[in-house]
Amino acid sequence: MVTLLGGIALLVIGYFVYGGFIEKNFGIEPDRQTPAEVLQDGMDFVPMPRWKNAIIELLNIAGTGPIFGPIMGALYGPVAYIWIVVGCIFGGAVHDYMVGMISLRNDGAHLPELSSKYLGKPMKHFVNIFSILLLLLVGTVFVTSPASLIESLTPDFMTTGIIVALIFGYYIVSTFLPIDKAMGKVYPWFGAILIISTIAIGLSLIFGGHALPELTPAAIRLENVNGVKLFPAIFFTISCGAMSGFHATQAPMVSRTTTSEKQGRFLFYGMMIAEGVIAMIWAAASMSLFDGQTLSQMIDAGTPSAVVNQVSYMLLGNIFGTAAIIGVIVLPISSGLSAFRSLRNIIADYINLKQDNLKNVLLLTIPIFAVSFILTRVDFNLLWRYFNWANQVIAVIALFVATRYLMYKKRNYLVALLPGTFMLYACLVYIVSEPIGFNLGLNASTYIISLAVGVAILVFFFVTGNKQMANLAERPDLTQDHLPIGTFSK
């Protein structure tokens, strides 16, 4: 219990202390007009109140990540808590805040456009490809995972295929609606269900007489119950609860509905902290109710959704347990919707296809959903592995964008560079060692090759950055935040 409560307390303290430092380092301008106010279009640029934006941001970034990820991360034992707390405060929340605020300063631009501006135009194509891949995988994962949960609550005739079709139907309808109608009306109810169910799970753990695992030297192990090494796997297993590149595709959506820069810390940094709290609770529940081998068998037999079912019913009983499962279901459904909406916008920006009429929306929406439906036939665990690697590559790119932005502004850029460099190395080790990459295994040569490649990337990053810094007179948009709103979008 001490570790769980202590970890949650550290997350809250991190919001006020380190979050305040990050906000000051960025240099907010409370009186600056925002894209939501100046570029209103009744579809994506729509001013909304802070509390509603906060719920939309939380539901957009969460999905099943802060639940499924910590459940699988629990196979490593209490050491999973360390990554959730440290990763969330110094990595994930910084990542989300910087992307959201930089987007706010650039007409609500998505990550590919920001990468083009701050990392160079060639990066736009690379980041577009990765973003499209990531969002397709995210949308598909966030269709299949709630479908398996819904199937457990419905009659036998409601097969997974029927449920998947119904979810896609909801997505298609919502895609055509303005953001304040598609999300602004529904998400507050989804958010209430999520918050209440999470609190209920947490209170049941604390006051239900359960033996909560504590983080002690003896409890720290460098591999999980299946023999999978801690590094780098833990950083890809627990992503959305600690650091996730998917969030970089979602923050710009909320930057288009935000009405003041002073709301940024609460909306972007704060909602990532909230996601970390959710991750802590589900990791603790998984470790306290099941031993490692039982947990592994449940995951292998039915994906982490089987664990969600058991945890909910064991802690809350049939009625409230069902409500808790519904609370988990709303996360991926809401994140899946936002993933496909972001995907449509990113592709539209890339090919310069305005989304101002139904024909153009359908032209992109139908192929996207067709490809995603095909991917639902692929094994969930395989999708999850590819999703997590692509996810963290995007996180690295987003943190390097933030680093370059802070360099140009002559601010402390280490706050973004250090977590970005760490995750870059983890991504390189993962792709060099894993079967989805070069399959060299975890050995000395893998670490050396990854280190050499990582150093080369960093050298290239600083060389190109210094060249841009030497020519800032030709690029006033890189340092001036007082350009007229709408300049970047032109």
pLDDT at 481: 61
Q: What percent of the chain has pLDDT over 70?
A: 93
Average the pLDDT over 302-313 and give the result. Answer: 76
Cα–Cα dist 106/115, whole Å: 12
317 Rama sector, left if φ>0, alpha if ψ -120 to 50, beta otherwise: left
Does the pLDDT value for residue 301 go beyond 70? no
- Taking 80 as the threshold, does the pLDDT of residue 174 lie above it? no
Q: Domain for residue 141, yes or no?
A: yes
Q: Is residue 101 part of a domain?
A: yes
Peptide bond just before 367 cis, omega within 30 deg = no
> pLDDT tens digits for 317-354?
887 788 777 777 777 777 777 788 888 888 888 888 87
Q: What is the rounded average pLDDT for all residues in the chain?
A: 85
Determine how many CB atoms are found less than 10 A away from the CB of residue 47: 16
CA atoms within 13 A of residue 455's CA, in its CB half-sphere: 6
CB within 8 A of 18, min separation 6: which ones?
Answer: 89, 90, 93
CATH number of the domain to which 99 belongs = 1.20.1740.10
- Spacing of C-alpha 402 from chain mean position: 16
Tell whether 319 is covered by a domain: yes
Q: Which residues have a Cβ under 8 Å from the Cβ of 336 and sit 6 or more positions away?
A: 63, 138, 139, 142, 143, 146, 167, 171
Number of domains making up the chain: 1
What's the pLDDT score for residue 486?
52
Mean per-residue pLDDT, 40-54? 89
447 three-class SS: helix
CA distances (Å), 243 to each of 83, 161, 328, in order?
9, 32, 20
Provide the residue range defining the domain that includes 294. Answer: 2-394
**What's the whole-number mean pLDDT along residues 429-441?**
89
The answer to whether residue 436 is domain-embedded is no
Assign 490 a pLDDT band (cuts: 50, 70, 90): very low
The pLDDT value recorded for residue 130 is: 80
The answer as to whether 62 is a domain residue is yes
| Confidence class for position 397, pLDDT limits 50, 70, 90 | very high
Q: Residue 489: its pLDDT value, please?
A: 47
What mean pLDDT is predicted for residues 227-233? 89
Residue 220, domain member (yes or no): yes
Does residue 455 belong to any structural domain of this protein?
no
Percentage of residues of the chain with pLDDT beyond 90: 36
Paired with 229 in beta bridges are 223
Residue 40 falls inside a structural domain: yes
pLDDT for 192? 82
Could you report the per-residue pLDDT of 133-165, keeping only the tens digit for each? 878 877 777 777 777 778 877 887 788 788 888
Alpha-carbon distance of 361 to 340, in angstroms, equals 12
Q: Cα–Cα distance between 423 and 443 in angstroms, integer?
A: 19
d(CA 260, CA 48): 11
